[in-house]
Amino acid sequence: MMSPEILISRAESSGFVRGVDRTPTGHFRIETVLDYPDGSSIEVFVPQPGRLVDHRLTDFGQTMAVLHQMDAMPSSSPRRRRLFAQILRQFGVVQDGGALECPYANERDLPRAIVSLAKCCFRVSDLLFTIRASAVSTFNEQMGETLSALHVPFEANAPIELPNDNVVYVDFLIRKRTGDAAILTLSTANEQHARTKAYELFAKWHDLRRMHRPEARITIFDDRFDVYRGADLERLSIVSTLVPASDRSAIARLVAA
């Protein structure tokens, strides 16, 4: 049976591991060099030495918790379920309730299982980008149709060049004789993502304002979802004209002005 000292020594000698400690349940918590999209470390847990015969590592449900916070659970769409199953098969990982677990043959097989489970958690957590991309794409398609109906010339995903070879991409750039207007959109049903996205938009507007760009700045937010913090919307209103997507008359005035 592998002693705790040997297990810790082997794990820490690997460049794949940041650190090892013990949990109150007696498991070894192994912090890997991989991160979830929110920046937290991917961790796998090895049973206490007396239970190594269980031959199964676990993430204790942390990966599913990340997806749940972002409204990107694998069960929420056929495509996501299919991708989820493919990833589990690729790394030899199984699902047990909310946990992802990786069987291993013996103590010598532990390093391989640790890497496989951590990589699987990393790949599974990337499923949240499928829902982000889909939601943003759908909302922006709707906004593109709105702008087309207003008969204003625009460019989608347009680059605005700044000094020192820096570029800021805006969702729409309206070309007008009286002066161009840049539009950024904010659409999500997830409160945590709303905070992150609002900060990203603020950073873009701040860069453009700091460089004294001439484009009018317009933020259109998807007010079907009541997930935006008042402080975040107020911050955006300082650096841009903030308008809800449902106020089509206000949007028409802004892009035609």
For residue range 21-51, list pLDDT tens digits in order. 888 877 888 899 888 887 788 999 988 655 5
Is residue 173 a contact partner of residue 155, using CB atoms and an 8 Å limit? yes
Q: Average pLDDT, stretch 163-180?
A: 87
For 86-137, what is each residue's pLDDT tens digit? 999 999 999 998 899 999 887 778 888 889 999 999 999 888 766 555 555 6
Looking at residue 124, what is its pLDDT? Answer: 92
d(CA 177, CA 256): 10
Confidence of residue 52 (pLDDT cuts 50, 70, 90): very low
Task: Tell me the domain boundaries of the chain.
Answer: 4-126, 130-256
Can you tell me the mean pLDDT for 56-63?
92
Q: Provide CATH code, domain 130-256.
A: 3.40.1350.10
**What would the pLDDT profile of 194-233 be if each residue is shown by its tens digit?**
888 898 899 999 989 988 999 999 999 999 888 899 999 9
Residues, the chain, total? 257
Q: Which of 178, 168, 174, 184 is nearest to 150 (CA)?
A: 174
DSSP the chain: ---HHHHHHHHHTSTTEEEEEE-TTSPEEEEEEEE-TTSPEEEEEEPPGGGGGG-EEE-TTHHHHHHHHTT--GGGSHHHHHHHHHHHHHHT-EEETTEEEEE-SSGGGHHHHHHHHHHHHHHHHTTHHHHHHHHHHHHHHHHHHHHHHTT--EEEEEEEEETTTEEEEEEEEE--TT--EEEEEE--S-HHHHHHHHHHHHHHHHHHHHTT--SEEEEEE-TTS----HHHHHHHHHHSEEEETT-HHHHHHHHH-
Q: How many CB atoms are closer than 10 A to CB 71?
A: 17
Could you tell me the two tokens for 82? 């299919």
